[in-house]
Amino acid sequence: MGFDPNEPEQRLRLRAAMRAADIPLSELWLKYFSLSGDAGEYEVEAYLQGLLSLPAIQRDLLALAANELIDDLPRPRAPYSDDFSDEPGHTEPVITEPAQDTGAATGQGPLKEGPDDDSGLAGGPDGLAETPEG
């Protein structure tokens, strides 16, 4: 068939990654094409079936497209003990108010929330403390 010696292994691993991440061919091809891939969707399908050889640069673009799609998938995360409430069976993360700055350490007094700040967090809407301009 005239394959590069590494092409069959690269193809098998690409197919395995697609299968594990549940990436459809159409989504892979669209991402590959957006990365300036030259092969059409039918050629990519033929490559994945082992019926067509692609140049190394095109195979690498397919791998890049698959890896970027995999990176975009949400991944489960292990929760910390603070992420749970004390109620049995309650698994929603608990959001607690940050402690108010009493100013004892800096001598500047507590942070004040502005009248238009509806975030409920000390500092600003992103929860970061604002530093006084000096």
77 inside domain = no
42 inside domain = yes
pTM comes to 0.58
19 inside domain = yes
Report pLDDT digits (tens) over 21-79.
999 999 999 999 999 999 999 999 999 999 999 999 999 999 999 999 999 999 888 88
CA distances to 92, 93, 116, 122 from 89, in Å: 9, 12, 37, 30
* Residue 64 belongs to domain spanning: 7-71
Lowest pLDDT segment from 39-43, 50-54, 85-89, 125-129: 125-129
The number of folded domains in the chain is 1
pLDDT at site 88:
61
